[in-house]
Structures are given as structure tokens and as C-alpha cells.
Amino acid sequence: METIAMDDFFHGQLAGRGFPPSQSFRWCGDCAVVRVGNLGIRPRALPATGPSQSPRQAGRHHEQHNAMNNATNESPPRPSGYDELRQTLAWVDLGPRSVLTARGPDAVRFIDGFTTAAVSGLSVGSGTEGFFTDGRGWVLALTTILRTEDGLWIDAAPGLAAGLREHLEHYHIRERIELADESCSRTAVLVAGPQAAAWLAKGCSVPPPVGLFDHVQGCLGTVPVAVVRIDWCGPMGFLLQAAAADHGRLIAWLESESIPRAEPAAVEAARIEAGRPEPADIPEKTLPQELERNARAISFTKGCYLGQETVARIDALGHVNRRLVALACDGPREPAVGALVRAGDEVIGRLTSACFSPALGCGLGLGILQARAIDAAGTLSVNGVTARVVAVPLEVLKAVRPSATDAASRQDGMALEDDSAETGTLLLETKRFRVVRVTEPCADGSRREREIVRHPGSVVVVPLVSPREVCLVEVVRVAVGKTLWELPAGTLDRIESLAAAAQRELAEETGYRAGRITPAGSFWMSPGILRERMHLFIAEDLTPGPQALEPGEQIRSHVVAWDEAIAMCLDGRIDDAKTIVGLLLIDARRR
């Protein structure tokens, strides 16, 4: 390996992950991997590194690399700032990102013709995720598109703005629009963690945005910033965009606030645990649906756009041949980026991002793999190490594995959720849950046994048929012997993203398909005995269709006025807990 400075080649591609220009890397030419401590990153473009290898030689090298990685049973140290990102608050300097602005009377209509997102329906101050595709439907860029007073602000990973602008200008003929690459004039900081919103509410001149991709203009100290609500490294995060000339003042202000600064490896681990793809995870000839962002980045109800024919054809088929998935690898080390993934003896893909996941206590990687092999539920391996597909984003805010320094909390009798999640005697296992007996530490130092139900979790959806109407379902519930009014909901019983599960349950129970679905929080159902976390989503831009009920389900859907639904919660006609929580929570946020 050779040590190189980031400026020599990788600054444009990796700065957006938070690495400062002075950061040193180890470049492994055989693996085509940049390594920063325990972190491995494969850039999208590579420098010349000498003679190329055959696939068999490359495979042998990756397996040797992986064997060296796992030569020790000791887990690597947690990256600085990781625990703060998960439990409190931390920030990282992202430096310049790709920033493309579109201004003019025709800006929104023009951009709407080139992205999978329903841009024309955005109001000023809101935003969405969206793919830009070429005429064949292949992904050019995954972006965040923000509606501004004079047009659109398009944010993406570093190094993409120039190519995206050139692509759009190729189709720009007479439209009244000005496309500008403002990447060099802007700088970005990521602030994330459960306390991020509360901190911004105190430190920013305006209240922080609530909805995903909503954005406001304000000041931190005396520094003007755009504040964008994001979930790149966990449920609660904000992207702070400022003028490049104010970069030093913004960093100085953050440091004066004594907020922990996360190192890039911590942010990268959190990103992979969230399942968010970077350019390295989007190779050439990737289709939008292969990246498992349908619910948040693709509208199936909008008008025509470049590449729509391919996207619509895949939607009609109902499946893709490849999917981006997260793989947890046995052992305490992160797998090598570029490592081959096998189902039995068959190579079905390779890892494009990798880290050691503190949440899982093992290696974790992202990669686009053959769907048939994933769905077959056979044995998977990464360079000879057993691996399994895990759903992302991980439920990590309460389940971060305790480090050695957490031993005191164990002695103080604090219940550590991770312990109860992985230990215990199995008493009963069904299709959807397990009953186990676990040992619980008590405050007086003694221990007692208790039985708990482990559930994979579930999603619940608030389907807004219109701003003042919601779709509810009447469900026959054998367990309570009556029919209940509920929001559509269902169990996480297959490998899919939370948003995809919400889309699926919405369509199955109501027939509606959402053009836009937004996460709105999560909560425990009955934590005294049941380990089930429900994930709440808001579904909008609905298109009606037929139900797709499972055998034996008795469900009828009804469109109810919003005020009437709230009244039903308050007067007892709705007595289902998740429905009461979901409706009253969204109602409170809308007031």
C-alpha cells in the first residue's frame, strides 16, 4: 500500500463524506480501496495503479485481504463521535458538496421532466429525494431537490454537479431557466443525533424544519445558513449549507458550542447502517428501483420524464433482477470494499461500501446483489465469511451495543436492550414472533427471570386522501373479539426497507398507492412485555386501486374527514393504540 494525500486524487469524490483535505489514506491498488483507519471506501473513479488483475486473481486477493482483516477477534474501537450521533448530538464538516440551482419561470417544469420525483407538487420550503436518469432509465445521480422561491436547489454528493448540469443543458432549448453549478461557492455541515432538533431550536434564529427535506433560511450565530431536515445518518439530522466564504466562521461557531465533532468514519458507519447509497454504491447501468428508494425517490403518478418508460415497465413487472441490500458479516471486523458476495459457490455481487457496525457488533456492507439469490434465502458469504441480509435502516438509537466503558451502567442495574435482544431461552416460536425467557438485572444487584415477546417490528401509515381526509380501515380482530377502526399497518416480515413496507401495507389494505411517503417517527407498542417498535409514515399523492389482502384478512377501507377521525380518537370510537398515537401525533404537528 502507498500513502497519498486526499488532494492528489480523492478530494472531489470523498470530501462529501466529511474527510478534511489534510486526511491521509492508504490506497490499496489491488483492491481499488481507499482505507481510513478501519474504514474502506471504493471511489467511483480510480487512478492508474499498474497492471490489471483477472477476476480470479482479484477474488483471491480480496479473500486474503478479508482473512487478514478477521485475523483478530477484537472489535475495532468505535469511531469518535459515533455514540453521540446515536445517543445525543454530533457534527461533521462535509466541505463542498454538489450544488446545482435552477432558476427562472420554467425551472420547476423543466426539472420535473428529468427526475423520478414529483417536483411540480412541491411547495416553497419543502423538498424530496429524486433520481436523475438518462434515456435508458439508468441512474445518473441520487439527489435531494429543494423548492425555493425562485426555483430549485439540487444537492448531491461531491463531483456530480458538472456532469448533471451538462446533461440537463443538452435538453435545454427555449425554456426560461438558468442552470448554475454553485458547488465551489457553498459549504456544508452535517448535524445529527436525537438532540439535534432541540439544539437547533435554541441555537438557530428560526425554528428547525420538521418534515423530511423541509428547509428554512436562518442564522447560527451571525452565519447565514440554509437548514435542511435529512435522515442520512439516522432519523434526526440536518444539513447546514453556508457560503464558502463563511466556512471558517461556521466551524468556529460550532466549536464554541462545545458540540462533539464526529470523525468521518463515524458518519460513514451511520450512513451504511441507514442504508443510504453514495455514488460508490451506484455503478453504471443501475436502475432506480434496484436502489430500494421507491417510496421516497420515485413517483409512479407524475407526468412524463426522461427514463420513465423503463421505470414504468419495471413497475409493471413488479420486480427487479438486482437489489441494493445490507449484509451483516460474521466476525468483529469490517469486510473489504470490493469483496465478492456468494450464494453457495455462485458470485452474486460485491460490496461497494463497508464498515464495522457498532450497532450490530460485526462487519456491515452495502452492495447490489442478484435478487433471486437473496430471495432464495440460502447461505450467503463474503469472501468465505458467513453473511446475512439485514433490513436497513437499522433500529440503532436504543440498540447500540455497549462498549467496555458501559460496564458501570450494567452494575447499576440499567436494562440494556441489546442484551435482552440477543439472549434468553426460547419458549415459543411462531411465524411472526418469539417468546423467550430472559434474566433481568435488578437495582439491588439480584437477578430475576421474566418472559418477553420478540417481534420484528411493524409499520403504520396515515394515508392522506386529501389535506382534510384520511383513509381508515375496519379490521376484524380475533384477539379482542371485535372489529376495530385502525390505520393501515403491518409486520416487518420480509427483507425490505421501512418505506417499502409502508407502501406495501398501504396498497394491500386500502388499494391506495402513494406518490410520496414520509417517515414521521416511531414508538414502542407495549415495552413492558413486547419488543415491537412501530414506524409511522405519512402517505400522500394517493392513487386508488384494488386491495391485495392476505388469505383470511377481513378489512374494509373508508375515507373519513380528518376532524372526524380526531373526534373518534377522543370519544373512544377508535380504541386502537397505534391509530390514536398516529392520528393525534400528526394532528399536533399540523397545528
Q: Per the omega criterion (within 30 degrees of 0), is the bond before 158 cis?
A: no
Query: Mean per-residue pLDDT for 479-506?
Result: 86
Checking if the pLDDT of 73 tops 90, the result is no
The mean pLDDT value for 219-241 works out to 94
Q: Using the predicted structure, report yes or no on whether residue 405 has a pLDDT greater than 70.
A: no
Number of Cβ within 10 Å of residue 399's Cβ equals 17
- Amino acid 589: pLDDT: 84
The pLDDT value recorded for residue 34 is 55
**0.85 exceeded by the pTM?**
no
**What's the mean pLDDT when you consider all of the chain?**
83
Mean pLDDT of all residues in 276-293: 95
Q: Does domain 458-590 bear CATH number 3.90.79.10? A: yes
> pLDDT band for position 56 (50/70/90)?
very low
| Domain residue spans of the chain | 2-53, 90-271, 404-454, 458-590
pLDDT, residue 54, reads 42
* Amino acid 494: pLDDT: 64
| pLDDT value, residue 41 | 53
Nearest residue to 557 (alpha-carbon basis) of 569, 545, 568: 545
**Integer Cα distance of 267 and 15 in angstroms:** 12
Is residue 480 packed enough to be buried (19+ CB in 10 Å), middle (13-18) or exposed (0-12)? Answer: exposed
Query: Do the domains at 90-271 and 458-590 have one common CATH topology?
Result: no
pLDDT reported for residue 165:
97
Q: Which residue has the higher pLDDT, 238 or 49?
A: 238
Give the H or E element holding residue 538: strand 533-543
Q: What percent of the chain has pLDDT over 70?
A: 82
Is residue 400 a contact partner of residue 419, using CB atoms and an 8 Å limit? Answer: no
CB 443 within 8 A of CB 413: yes
Query: What's the average model confidence in pLDDT over 146-173?
Result: 96
The stretch 384-410 carries a mean pLDDT of 59
CATH code, residues 90-271: 3.30.1360.120
Are 100 and 156 a contacting pair, CB within 8 Å? yes
More confident residue, 5 or 197: 197
Q: Which of 341, 342, 326 is nearest to 292 (CA)?
A: 326
Residues 319-346 have a mean pLDDT of 92
**pLDDT given at position 392:** 86
Q: How far apart are the first and last CA of the chain?
A: 58
* Confidence at 29, pLDDT banded by 50, 70, 90: very low
Judged against a pLDDT cut of 90, whether residue 375 lies above it is answered with: no
516 has which bridge partners?
A: 540
Given a cut of 70, whether residue 38 has pLDDT beyond it is no
101-127 pLDDT, tens digit each: 999 999 999 999 999 999 998 999 999
Is pLDDT at 399 greater than 50 in this prediction? no
Average pLDDT over residues 409-430: 48
